[in-house]
Structure 1
Amino acid sequence: MHKAFSPSRAAGPLSSVSKLLLLASLAIVTASAQVVPVPPTPQVGSSNPVTAEPLVSRPHTKPCVVSLLSNAAFENFNGAPLTYAPPSACPGPWAKVVLTADFTVTAGRQFDRSAWFYLGDTNIFYGTTAEPRAALSPSWHIERDLTDLTALFKSPQTGLASIGNVVNSTYTGIIYASAELEFYPASWQAPAPVTPDVIVPVSSGNGPVTLNTTTDQATATLNLPRNVEKVYLDVISQSQIGDEFWYLCVPTPVAGELETCGNTAFRETEISIDGKAAGVAPVYPWIYTGGLDPYLWEPITGVQTLNFKPYRVDLTPFAGLLADGSQHTVAVSVYNANGYFLSTANVLVYTDHGSKEVSGGVLSNTLTAAPNPEIVQNLSTDSSGTTTGTVNVGSNRTFSITGYVNTSHGRVETTVAQKVNFLSAQTFDVNVANGPEIQNLVQTSTVDSETTTRDGFLVEKTSKHISFPLTLDYSFLNNPNGTFTQVVSSNQQDLHNEAKSLNGFQYFQSSAKEQVNSQDTLQFDASFNVTAPGVGSSSASYRSNDSLGDCYSRSLTAANQKLTSVTDNKGCHDHDHWF
């Protein structure tokens, strides 16, 4: 919601003092011109998919709406074509562009499915679907802020909505989807933000790229203008098939005796430019609605399960290099990919509107091409064939990348400094032949970053702390009567803290925390058939606030596949900031 001011967007040259005052005032105005709407209150007693996550914030202007899909049926892997034309009644500039989509799966039997929308080979939505039941036809709503893709929407585009699905006598659930784009005209209260001028997709046409091994790459060729000033990469890496439960994997030599997947429990997305390391993105441990135990996620889904959030990598230190008039290649790979990941990304390029050509380059880069994770095993197997012990894997990376651009408003130097830490600690009690299968996991993945931008005597710093903690306890027990009991508990979190300062003066701070706790018990007969729905409970909470007084809060509880309570705005007061 907060946009930093770029002096190159001004009508003419500004003094350093004027730039400082404009930046500070614009920070207040842009952050205050929109409000975060509270989603409609879900129905207590319902089994429909529900999340505590907020909707996209919007200005008060009336939007023009463009339909992309209307109740399209997904029964195979063909997808549904998308055709887009800019809204004639809202030619721009736009204060906000929002994608909304609504999904339904017919009652019956169906797997969770991956879903993605592309326009002009550019990803505009990525998520998964909910699983139905014989007496449950789940419906849900998603939204995504696409304002940074404004350049894409200025001209007609074609694309594809894909929800690969199989419908036959066994898997009967048909998935339906509708989608619209909302364009909010800019006004004095809600001015149009500065958005990227060029967007380059990293995709396989109208879909993500398959990455089966560490060396596989998704690539894009960059032929950028000569006046590149800032560059970002929004990336998603989704685990599938053998990698779906990558966070429960172990070193390959012990995967068989522990009855799990190989290549360790460490995955990481690597970004390179012309073959040289340029950035790192952690892989979020998404759990889909069929994962581990489908009843864990009914009705409260896991964190981001239905609507993935791209991770943004700051490539601005490479802006001068990418503006040299030569062709360059950006590549995305997943370290330890083990069959397989799907990856997609969008390169977002800001240009210097005051100059047709800039110069610059990379001054220093301490990022290594690949991580060097440390593995510690402490396992033993007794005479009965039971393996017990621990397996830990950790990775710690600290690096700094500095680059500069000589722009129309002077030399701008950018340093991105990050600490990227990962640790997985697993405990096992496994007997492959006839004993219990117990696997417990505590995983932490954190990124602490500081981006420093020097523009004359102005020094702007953006500090971020991002964390993805995950705790999983899984047990599958043999009962004396020949039946089986499975007990699973999960604790997912998504934490974001951000602070911005100018010449040491902090002018903005925000934080957001999402948490989903789920636990369930399933009973199986001797033939491994589930004998009854799961008996469990779950809760979800989302809270965000910032230094301007904006606050959002929602808490949910559920038991035995039904929503039991909804609590909104606890600890928040009503705010509507307008100037």
Structure 2
Amino acid sequence: MRIRSVAFVSLSVLLLGWLPLAPATAATPVAPATAVTPPPEFGSDYDDPRTPAPPVAVPNTKHCEVQIVRNQFRNFDPYQSTYTPPAACQGPWSKVVLRMHGEVKGVQYDRLGHITIGGVGVFRTSTPEPSTDGIAWDVQKDVTAYIPLLRTPQPVVMELGNVVDDTYTGVLDITVTLDFYTTGSNAPAAKTADAVLPLQDQRREDSDLIGTATLPRNTTRLLGEIYVTGSGGGCEEFWDTSAPAETGYSCPDGSPYREVDVSIDGKPAGVALPYPYIYTGGWSNPYSWRPSPAPRAFDIKPLTYDLTPFAGLLTDGKPHEFRVHVAGVPAGQSGWFTVPNLHVWKDPHRTQTHGGLTSYAVSPLSKTDDVSGAPGEAGAVRTKASRSLKISGYLDTSEGRIRTTVQRTLTNVSDHVWEAGESRDSLTASWRDTSTTISGGKVDRTDLSYGKTGVLTFLPNATIPGGYDVVTDLSIYDTTRTTQSITTETYDGRASWIYGVPRDQRHATGTQTVRYRSIGHGCYDHTLSAVNGVYTKDFYRC
């Protein structure tokens, strides 16, 4: 857990939009739970963490498990192994699921982990902070899109930096498996890209990552993905509450706006908004995240970019430069983790495709920051920002000329206000990232909207010299709309503890409710509520 004199939160709004809703289906029935009486405050243990999201849907076919990680992480040494395809479940496969099981006890920070297979990033996560008695947790992720990698043996690397000493005693005991599901009735072979590629010859320049890729000469479609987070341990973890240095704010990282851009051979090709992750030691209140974490904390999703309009420029068999740039990071400031991959589809009947750009419009960033405050005084940063692009291109393929147009619009509104000494710190912020791809008469749209609203207070305790009451009120919403479904995950909670005293005198309390709702292919609605680390409600409805 990290202490800084600031922490924020978020308020949740569920918007049902333009999606045609499928008929609702009954949720999995849950037996009535025995009434639970929570403790008056957090003790030496709390319930094992879980999230309200549904498990990955899998077919009723034969499946095989391949273990790729089994390690106790005590330091910053990466774990390495070799993946071998399952002999008893040879492809084709209908689905592949990554499952991670973790255990830890004692005292430990939240830690960030990442897995690559064949140099390709496939999974990023953060860990819960443990109780004295210990906790266990599970994460699962659909990794079917990486099947092109998994057909042959590949090197595996998991990084999960940790420090174990006399104070921080928690050893992270991690097991990761891949479950392969064969094809069968109602379980056809998965449709994926033909290749998944990492960038080669990677190097860094400040917050930029630069590498090259040589695409197949018969490429017909190109998608980029980037696993990207502001790192733990520095102010870029709290980038959405940054303020200019002249305000005297505790994280003087300039404007709170960040953007993750992709350029190809020096030409801007894609823009996206990073997700404002909150890890389980974040926002100055680890008790806000016990037992359930903030949305996405255990399964950090990559940003995605449709780069198909550029594909016709990249089929010459030569290496091309890809640059990932995190806009808004002050010069010389570190703290961003970026792992890019490329998903490539190929023409099955041609050895080479040809094409080019037909229209190109990328707007400059439009941003205003209304800033007030000085060291030791009250202050505020009120930000409004927007960005858009529209790029079209064509490819001549065995199916004829295919035209693709990609549109993307980004907006961010943030209102960050603090009192003198940051004794009361509030944030209301929202992000929206909408992308539309029109290709070969097909339209795909993804609309991401998320936000936080809340207040942190950090005030002297009335009776304990040197003690401070830390109180956090938080609400978060995270909504994804596609042409097939709408999903929304929310968090609402309040937590308090006393800073500056021994752990057994913190008198920590916390209430939280997390909920996951999905409408599209049926209906899923799951809510978990907890008081002082103990789940008091776990129910489904639709």
Q: TM bucket by the smaller chain? A: 0.7 to 0.9
1:451-466 equivalence runs, <5 A: 451-454=437-440, 459-466=441-448
Cross-structure match for 2:492:
517
Which fold has the larger relative contact order, with Cα–Cα distance below 8 Å and residues 6 or more apart in sequence?
2
Q: How far is 1:220 from its partner?
A: 2.7
Q: How far is 1:36 from its partner?
A: 10
TM-score after normalising by structure 2: 0.87
Q: Secondary structure at the match of 1:366?
A: strand
Q: Secondary structure at the match of 1:245?
A: helix
Give distance in 2, aligned partners of 1:354 and 1:121: 29
Give distance in 2, aligned partners of 1:550 and 1:204: 45
Q: Secondary structure at the match of 1:387?
A: coil
Cross-structure match for 1:96:
95
Give distance in 2, aligned partners of 1:193 and 1:388: 56
Q: How far is 1:85 from its partner?
A: 0.9
Cross-structure match for 2:151:
154
Shift of the 557–170 alpha-carbon distance from structure 1 to 2, 3 Å rule, reads same
Q: Which amino acid is the alignment partner of residue 282 of structure 1?
A: L
Cross-structure match for 1:577:
none
Is 2:272 aligned against 1:281? yes
Q: How far is 1:147 from its partner?
A: 1.0
Q: How far is 1:372 from its partner?
A: 4.2
Contact 1:38-1:552 at 8 Å conserved across structures: no
1:451-490 equivalence runs, <5 A: 451-454=437-440, 459-479=441-461, 481=463, 482=465, 483-490=467-474
Give distance in 2, aligned partners of 1:335 and 1:126: 22
1:179-578 equivalence runs, <5 A: 179-202=176-199, 213=206, 216-240=207-231, 241-254=234-247, 256=248, 258-291=249-282, 292-337=284-329, 338-368=333-363, 371-379=365-373, 387-431=377-421, 437-454=423-440, 459-479=441-461, 481=463, 482=465, 483-499=467-483, 509-525=484-500, 531-546=505-520, 549-568=521-540, 570-571=541-542
Give distance in 2, aligned partners of 1:374 and 1:36: 46
Give distance in 1, aligned partners of 2:29 and 2:309: 38
**RMSD in angstroms over aligned alpha carbons?**
2.6
The answer for unaligned runs of 5 or more in structure 1 is: 1-30, 500-508, 572-579
Q: How far is 1:272 from its partner?
A: 1.0
Q: How far is 1:194 from its partner?
A: 2.1
Shift of the 148–113 alpha-carbon distance from structure 1 to 2, 3 Å rule, reads same
Q: Secondary structure at the match of 1:130?
A: coil
Q: Secondary structure at the match of 1:112?
A: coil
Cross-structure match for 1:114:
112
Give distance in 2, aligned partners of 1:528 and 1:441: 30
Shift of the 450–386 alpha-carbon distance from structure 1 to 2, 3 Å rule, reads same
1:79-107 deviations in Å (ceiling 9; x for gaps):
221211111222211111111110111x2
Contact 1:82-1:119 at 8 Å conserved across structures: no
1:88-143 deviations in Å (ceiling 9; x for gaps):
222211111111110111x21111111111111111211111111223x1211111
Give distance in 1, aligned partners of 2:277 and 2:496: 21
Q: Which amino acid is the alignment partner of residue 232 of structure 1?
A: L
Q: Which amino acid is the alignment partner of residue 276 of structure 1?
A: K
Is 2:134 aligned against 1:144? no
Shift of the 37–62 alpha-carbon distance from structure 1 to 2, 3 Å rule, reads farther
> 2:128 aligned to 115, 126, 130, which one?
130
Q: Which amino acid is the alignment partner of residue 436 of structure 2?
A: E
Tell me the number of residue pairs that the alignment of Structure 1 and Structure 2 aligns.
502
Cross-structure match for 1:13:
none
Q: How far is 1:466 from its partner?
A: 0.6
Give distance in 2, aligned partners of 1:38 and 1:118: 37
Q: Which amino acid is the alignment partner of residue 51 of structure 1?
A: T
Q: Which amino acid is the alignment partner of residue 55 of structure 1?
A: P
Contact 1:248-1:261 at 8 Å conserved across structures: no
Q: Which amino acid is the alignment partner of residue 239 of structure 1?
A: G
Q: Which amino acid is the alignment partner of residue 316 of structure 1?
A: T
Is 2:86 aligned against 1:87? yes
Is 2:60 aligned against 1:78? no
Q: How far is 1:219 from its partner?
A: 2.5
1:161-197 deviations in Å (ceiling 9; x for gaps):
1211111111111111111111111224111132111
Q: How far is 1:373 from its partner?
A: 2.4
Give distance in 1, aligned partners of 2:267 and 2:130: 45
Contact 2:382-2:416 at 8 Å conserved across structures: yes
Using the aligned pairs only, state the percent identity.
30
Contact 1:522-1:530 at 8 Å conserved across structures: no
Q: Which amino acid is the alignment partner of residue 190 of structure 2?
A: P
Give distance in 1, aligned partners of 2:164 and 2:173: 13
Q: Which amino acid is the alignment partner of residue 434 of structure 2?
A: D
Shift of the 276–38 alpha-carbon distance from structure 1 to 2, 3 Å rule, reads farther
Contact 2:261-2:324 at 8 Å conserved across structures: yes
Contact 1:112-1:131 at 8 Å conserved across structures: yes
Q: Which amino acid is the alignment partner of residue 414 of structure 2?
A: S
Q: Secondary structure at the match of 2:362?
A: coil
Contact 2:62-2:89 at 8 Å conserved across structures: no
Q: How far is 1:204 from its partner?
A: 8.8
Contact 1:36-1:55 at 8 Å conserved across structures: no
Q: How far is 1:484 from its partner?
A: 2.0
Give distance in 1, aligned partners of 2:32 and 2:348: 45
Shift of the 220–524 alpha-carbon distance from structure 1 to 2, 3 Å rule, reads closer
Q: Which amino acid is the alignment partner of residue 471 of structure 2?
A: V
Q: How far is 1:386 from its partner?
A: 5.4
